[in-house]
Amino acid sequence: MSTPRIAARIRRIKPSPSSAAAERAATLRREGKKIVNLVVGEPDFDTPEHIRRAAYEAMERGDTRYTATAGTPALRQAIAEKLSRENGLDYDPAHIIVTCGAKHAIFNALAVTVDTGDEVLIPAPYWVSYPDMALACDGTPVIVPTTEEQDFKLDAQTLARYITPKTRWLMLNSPTNPTGATYSPEELRALADVLLDHPRVLILTDDIYEHIRYDGRKMRHLLHVEPALRDRVVVINGVSKTYAMTGWRIGYAAGPADIVAALDKLQSQSVSNACTISQAAALAALTGDQSFVAESVRIYERRRNRAVELLNKIPGLSCKAPGGAFYLFVNCAGLIGRTTPAGKTLENDSDIVLYFLETVGVALIAGSAYGTPNYFRASIATSIEIIEEGCDKLAHAVSELK
């Protein structure tokens, strides 16, 4: 038997379930089916005009060539100022690298630090890509379950229990995709106390949803709470979610000199720099008028409130109002064991999501994709009308169950 052509590290991962769900919804739509798409993982707003204009101007100026691998000096300076202004973190631009989206920064951070068998602690529910990224980098994802009762947040005792001599990373995402869980400074303090005792463990803070939060508070960063962790923290962020710029593919990492140098080396041998025109747009996003950010959060908040109200009226479903991000993580345990009009018993969250898609055309993502069965994720990055239509259809589909 010939050996497989595809490398083991790729054979052991699966495609992103959220991309797959989005593609499935798009295919059904192309086939003429009416689909209420609640899987979207990106803002439904256009990128603000002044940001788009900065991109045109960059092209007109001839900014269409390679930049330094780590990004333009102007953008790295703007990121350093943003980290100082918004997060109270002081980074030299030399310790910041611009990447092709936050996803790229996270992948590369693991790629440059994880050796075979190193453990990557991932609190569940988690963003779908973390475990497969760890696997692709020859690491061992270690899933740390959290519960709805604890608002899906990792607590200090649990963290302490899961750290082993092989632990290399803790992935910390706040606000969290898919639950919206948002860590308070006190909760970060408790986690920091545990982390201080384990100097081998690096901490990746995925701050991509930092501005999309509904408690009116600004994010307090783990490093602001505990500066002594500085040599072990890689800060990940980007412009995708805050400025409706998912397609521009600009993210960044800030961190210790050796890790950023390794990121630079890997990037120089793989993608070179992030798109030059997009870097000019990201510079305008970070340095220009910020009113879009607060306005979009107000809109998400209205949608969140309406969706929570409607979903909680459906017998068998329940969800808490998320503190941040633009998703609801809906408990559907009450539907398990029920029977569809076609006579099929709903055994798990994947059956439930498929039932909703096939009978009423509402596209959702099963909680199992996030490491937490008995839930599904519904996106609110869509209009109130679509949210209302989706909830109406879900209510109808549930009413048909026996």
CA dihedral 242, 217, 18, 384 (to 10 degrees): -80
Q: Identify which range of 30-38, 52-60, 99-107, 266-274 contacts ligand PLP by CB under 6 A.
A: 99-107
User: Which CB sits closer to ligand PLP, 202 or 398?
Assistant: 202
- The widest CA-to-CA distance across the chain, in whole angstroms, is 65
Say whether residue 208 binds ligand PLP (CB under 6 A): yes
CA dihedral 103, 106, 108, 110 (to 10 degrees): -140
Say whether residue 379 binds ligand PLP (CB under 6 A): no
In the complex, minimum distance from the CB of residue 104 to ligand PLP, in angstroms, rounded to a whole number = 6
Looking only at residues 301 through 360 of this chain, which bind ligand PLP when binding is defined by CB under 6 A? none
Residue nearest to ligand PLP as judged by C-beta position: 101
Residue 132 neighbours by CB distance under 10 Å: 17
Helix 276-287 with 49-61: angle, nearest 10 deg: 140
- Residue 126 gets the label, from left (phi > 0), alpha (psi -120 to 50) or beta, of beta
Question: Which position among 48, 71, 251, 323 is part of the footprint of ligand PLP (CB under 6 A)?
Answer: 251
Looking only at residues 111 through 130 of this chain, which bind ligand PLP when binding is defined by CB under 6 A? 127
Say whether residue 103 binds ligand PLP (CB under 6 A): yes
Say whether residue 47 binds ligand PLP (CB under 6 A): no
User: Which CB sits closer to ligand PLP, 136 or 335?
Assistant: 136
- The H or E element containing residue 235 is strand 233-238
Say whether residue 246 binds ligand PLP (CB under 6 A): yes
Question: Which position among 78, 102, 202, 244 is part of the footprint of ligand PLP (CB under 6 A)?
Answer: 102
Rounded-to-integer distance, Cα 141 and Cα 128, Å? 12
Q: Identify which range of 45-53, 80-88, 96-104, 222-230 contacts ligand PLP by CB under 6 A.
A: 96-104
Picking from 154, 123, 159, the residue whose alpha carbon sits closest to that of residue 141 is 123
In the complex, minimum distance from the CB of residue 102 to ligand PLP, in angstroms, rounded to a whole number = 3
∠ CA 194-180-161 to the nearest 5 degrees? Answer: 25
Residues interacting with ligand PLP, by CB under 6 A? 41, 101-103, 127, 173, 177, 206, 208, 238, 240, 246, 251
